[in-house]
Amino acid sequence: MSVPSVTAKTILFWISIIFLGVMLWKLNFSKPDQTIPYTEFLQLLDGNQVSEAHAYLSANSVRLVATLRQTSRTVGTMVTYGVFSELTDRLRAGGATLRISEERAGDWTIFLLNAAPLILLVGFCLFLMKRVQSGAWRPSQTNPTATRIGIGYDLHRLESGRTLVIGGVELPFEKGPVGHSDGDVLAHALCDALLGAAGLGDIGTHFPDTDPRWKDANSLMFLEHAKKLLGERGLAIEHVDAVVITEKPKLGPHFPKMREALSQALGVAADKIHLKAKTNEGVDAIGRGEAIAAHVVATLAAR
């Protein structure tokens, strides 16, 4: 996710926290520790226990919140305007400080509760705008059902004393590919085609030839890993078309086994894998039997 959208999220989060904090503060503002009847309040007043009082004036009544001398606890009571005048005199006579203000807590609560959906909606719209501007939604604008095509190519030198493995099948031949793994040229090109179609780099990204874990590794393992990555991205293999180029040996008779091995590694039906063989007509290194190469095109579709 891009930085602007993270910033927008953070701002929205803190706005929500501050908003909730203000709302809670206003709800609890001037709330006494204990609410008592008026008669009990008078007793406290007569006993000279009130050190400070705050009167909140509303339309029809006055809410009194008083702080007690001994304990600093606050008590609250409601009085009518009829007795309020006399009460102020008694408070002052008792040496208590008196503050008078308008009752606003209710107004604030109503305002905040009504404004909450609007504030959240505006915040959410700003958040969406940031996301669209930052391009974070770009992937969802692509057609999820679109076909993806990848191309893969590989070449290995052939040397005596190496085992020839093509498409996961060992073939009887006097030469084999030089490579860090088993040198399966078809599996490597196929792996690159799949990763390319999925936009996941290439085989070297996932299985570097400097890693001792892949020394003489069975290349079908690379295909199994590629299949897992495709699955995680909701991509399925639609079709694989491959050409293996080598002068010798004849590959056609081994294709059924290769298709079986590859289809098992990729978890797809064998009829989705199409293999072809070519020679290089005696031309260049492949033609002289010094190398083997493969080209693969893979087609993927969203599941």
Contact residues for Mg ion, defined by CB under 5 A: 154, 188
CA distance 35 to 94: 21
CA distance 60 to 160: 106
What is the radius of gyration, based on Cα positions, of the chain? 40
**Shorter beta-carbon distance to Mg ion: residue 76 or 176:** 176
Instruction: List the one residue out of 133, 108, 124 whose CA is nearest residue 2.
Output: 133
Phi/psi of residue 85, each to 5°? -60, -45
Instruction: List the one residue out of 171, 174, 143 whose CA is nearest residue 161.
Output: 174
Helices of type H across the chain: 3-28, 38-46, 81-93, 105-134, 138-141, 185-198, 203-206, 220-232, 255-266, 284-287
Phi/psi of residue 63, each to 5°? -100, 125
160 strand-pairing partners: 175
Q: How far is the CB of 166 from Mg ion (least distance, A)?
A: 12
> Among all residues, whose Cβ is closest to Mg ion?
188
Contact 298, 239 (CB under 8 A): yes
**Shorter beta-carbon distance to Mg ion: residue 180 or 239:** 180
Q: How far is the CB of 152 from Mg ion (least distance, A)?
A: 10
Q: How far is the CB of 120 from Mg ion (least distance, A)?
A: 56
Q: How far is the CB of 156 from Mg ion (least distance, A)?
A: 6
Contact 121, 129 (CB under 8 A): no
Q: How far is the CB of 207 from Mg ion (least distance, A)?
A: 10
**Shorter beta-carbon distance to Mg ion: residue 188 or 259:** 188
**Shorter beta-carbon distance to Mg ion: residue 41 or 214:** 214
For 220, other C-beta atoms within 10 Å of its C-beta total 21
Q: How far is the CB of 278 from Mg ion (least distance, A)?
A: 18
Q: How far is the CB of 244 from Mg ion (least distance, A)?
A: 13
**Shorter beta-carbon distance to Mg ion: residue 191 or 230:** 191
**Shorter beta-carbon distance to Mg ion: residue 76 or 179:** 179
| Joined tokens for residue 211 | 């890693």
Q: Coil, strand or helix: which one is 269? A: coil
**Shorter beta-carbon distance to Mg ion: residue 52 or 202:** 202
